[in-house]
Amino acid sequence: MNSPKKPRTFYQRILPSTCVAFNSIEGKRQFESALHHKGLRSFFALMEQFTTQSEPAFCGISTLVMVLNSLAVDPRRVWKGPWRWYSEEMLNCCMDLEEVKEVGITFDIFACLARCQGLQVEKHFAQDHTLQAFRIAINRACVETESSNLNCLLVVSYSRKTVKQTGDGHFSPIAAFDEASDQVLILDTARFKYGAHWVPVTLIFEAMLPIDKDTQKSRGYVLLSFEQESNKDALRSMISLLVVFSVREQHFVRRRHKQFLEARQKESNGDVAYDEVLRFWTEGGEKRNLIWQSLKPQVIPVEEEDRQAVDAVRSLIKCLVRKIATPPPGFEFFSEHYKSKCQENGNRVIPLFPEEAIFILYLTLLS
């Protein structure tokens, strides 16, 4: 009897000739040149947070975690012990992480996740922009000015095939720019595959142009920033306090929701009303607690100011729901009987109403 064939395994890949390894002699020369030409504005913040993605398809998730921690965004949630810190499992609002493990995320989902965490997002599809526009974005993120403060970080979504690497769609942060060689430094979170490396600006732009078969659009680049004092960002940060998480065992319900949205968007030229989303998640008002099969509220924040922010956002959501929504027949908004309950966590979770959780999902459609 023949023994089953063992799956093939790999230990890293050799970088193609299109790339220059960061730790090579030439890579070190380019780093020295970038330092001389003041092209390291993003480097040190990102290098402090450089991490290896925990799943083969988590390049987008891990890249965003690097960016959030580099920009010193407080997640307002406990990571471990008493510490608040971003980690991959926290980014589970725009797409279920079990699904991400299988297929990764698209450029649009990456932008959605960033907005949910309170970041300002400047998203650019390569097909709609020029190489010169991309160079301007590189300069904004990488080249130091009189004010050396870090104001934004640059992430690229591109096809590895164009760069002559194995695989296809990938996300990476750009950490530096060397003017002399006209190359950017890619901090690849798939460090089990490729280490950090330099790539020509023209080549990485070309790698963003191929059409992504999942979206029928090109990939692109995104500038991400965070301003603590911005009223708009503060509101987004407060909303992120209430972002609900998928119950992993029930992620098929989220997939059914995704199919519903795609069908409705085709029928209505992209517009979906809150009433429609509400009817979907309550089956026309018959099953108010259906949403809790798929989602769960976050833990109540530790800090008093954060708890006050939660209360303020919930009050705003209730006001908006009453203003824009028409309840299904026999459906009473905000009935105490249908608040979220979690025996495991007792009083530690935010007691959301189903309408609140559904409205937060609806907000992600407007981003």
Do residues 355 and 333 make contact, with C-beta atoms less than 8 angstroms apart? yes
Burial profile 304-342: b = 16 or more Cβ within 10 angstroms, e = fewer: eebeebbeebbeebbeebeeebebeeebeeeeeebbbee
Name 264's Cβ contacts closer than 8 Å, sequence gap at least 6: 272, 276
Kindly report the number of other CB atoms within 10 A of residue 132's CB atom: 8
To 10 degrees, the CA torsion angle through 66, 244, 311, 313?
70
- Rounded Cα gap, residues 365 and 367, in angstroms: 6
Q: Where are the alpha helices (DSSP H) in the chain?
A: 25-36, 43-48, 59-70, 97-103, 107-116, 131-142, 201-208, 231-241, 251-267, 274-282, 304-324, 354-365
Angle between helices 231-241 and 107-116 in degrees, nearest 10: 100
Q: For residue 267, give both structure tokens.
A: 């029928």
**Which tokens is 156 given?**
């690229």
Give the integer Cα–Cα distance in Å for 118 and 73: 8
Q: Give the integer Cα–Cα distance in Å for 138 and 199.
A: 13
Token pair belonging to 319? 């006001």
Give, in order, the Cα–Cα distances in Å from 115 to each of 8, 21, 45, 62. 39, 33, 20, 16
Residues designated catalytic: 59, 170, 188
